[in-house]
Amino acid sequence: MEDNKYILNAGNAHGITNGAEFAVYLVNDDSPPMTLVVVNTGEHSAVMDVPPGASRFALVTSAFAFKTKAGTEENIRFHIAMANKLTIVFEALSEEIPHKFRILCVDSQSEADFDIVLESDQVVFHILNPFVTRYGSTRIPYRIAPVHDSVYTVIRAMAHYYRYLRRTNSSRPQHDVRIEFLKLKSYYDHNFEDQFEPDGPNLNVGGVVNLVVGPDDMYGIKIVNESDLTLYPSVFFFDSDLSIGESIFPAIWDAIVVDIVQRRHCP
């Protein structure tokens, strides 16, 4: 507790979002846990408070917090236009896993991340989130049976996928980091070692790269850091099958060069 505020030792960098609820356990105390709700998140800490109508309590020493409900940014919104039996499945799921993410059923497709329909007695997921559809992905490549276990597996993968896809640092502008996508050509330096250099303009136009890959083509990413902070990037590939890979590009591309340029004044 600092300045009459409850401070959680985790923040945006740890996936904490506003609205998340925690059960707080006092050290060496057998009393039931108290509930705190995240009201403001920083990079490495978060401010919490008691729920509306609840009484505040003192924290003389440190306490342990266990997440019991996901924050608002971790919500997954579904529009369901199907038989009532699958609606019951989703209602059961929403009660089962609220601490990881929250499933919300909405009436309007414009408010939903996904539209769920039945095709030939199989469940199909249509993507409605404009953050994804603008890249050409409009449907999850799975057809599953309308039963709890099958639906749970896909929903869990979707929640994990979109939680990390949407994560960003809202407290610091992102325009200080520029990403260039370049076609490369090779040459030999004075030591007869193979080197690469750009062969054409930046192909990243408005955050989208459109290209047809030839059998011998090579591409590279240049990450330019123009902020006053040192950048330590980790790059992942978010595929349309809901997988997140540490490989930057699909296997059909033979080579990739990552060039990190730190443009900052060092003492």
Q: Which helix (H) or strand (E) segment is 262 a member of?
A: strand 256-262
Q: How far apart are CA 254 and CA 249, in angstroms?
A: 9
What is the DSSP code (8-state) at residue 149? H
Q: How far apart are CA 59 and CA 176, in angstroms?
A: 40
Q: Residue 37's pLDDT is what?
A: 95
Label residue 145 by pLDDT band (50, 70, 90): confident
Q: How far apart are CA 47 and CA 192, in angstroms?
A: 57
Q: Residue 134's pLDDT is what?
A: 79
pLDDT tens-place string over residues 53-101: 898 888 877 889 998 887 877 677 777 765 555 666 666 666 655 555 6
When pLDDT is averaged across residues 184-193 and rounded to a whole number, the result is: 83
When pLDDT is averaged across residues 100-115 and rounded to a whole number, the result is: 73
Nearest alpha carbon to residue 72 among 31, 113, 119, 21: 21
- Parallel/antiparallel/unpaired status of strands 75-81 and 114-119: parallel
Q: Which helix (H) or strand (E) segment is 244 a member of?
A: strand 244-245
The first and second tokens of residue 93, run together, are 């799921």
Q: How far apart are CA 24 and CA 113, in angstroms?
A: 32
Residue 138 neighbours by CB under 8 Å, 6+ apart: 126, 127
Higher pLDDT, 135 or 24: 24
Backbone dihedral angles phi then psi of residue 128, each to the nearest 5 degrees: -115, -15
Q: How far apart are CA 248 and CA 190, in angstroms?
A: 30
Q: Are the C-beta atoms of residues 21 and 35 closer than 8 Å to each other?
A: yes
Q: Residue 31's pLDDT is what?
A: 79
When pLDDT is averaged across residues 222-234 and rounded to a whole number, the result is: 80
Nearest alpha carbon to residue 94 among 82, 107, 106, 104: 104
* Domains of the chain listed by start with CATH number: 6-69 (no CATH), 73-165 (3.40.50), 177-262 (no CATH)
Q: Residue 111's pLDDT is what?
A: 76
pLDDT over 90, % of the chain: 12
Label residue 262 by pLDDT band (50, 70, 90): low
Q: Model's pTM, two decimal places?
A: 0.66
Q: Residue 245's pLDDT is what?
A: 81
When pLDDT is averaged across residues 193-209 and rounded to a whole number, the result is: 87
pLDDT tens-place string over residues 19-38: 889 999 987 777 788 999 99
The first and second tokens of residue 110, run together, are 């414009």
- Parallel/antiparallel/unpaired status of strands 122-127 and 114-119: antiparallel
Q: Residue 257's pLDDT is what?
A: 52
Q: How far apart are CA 76 and CA 114, in angstroms?
A: 8
Residue 30 neighbours by CB under 8 Å, 6+ apart: none
Q: Residue 87's pLDDT is what?
A: 65
DSSP H helices in the chain: 84-96, 130-133, 148-165
Q: Residue 39's pLDDT is what?
A: 94
Q: How far apart are CA 257 and CA 198, in angstroms?
A: 11
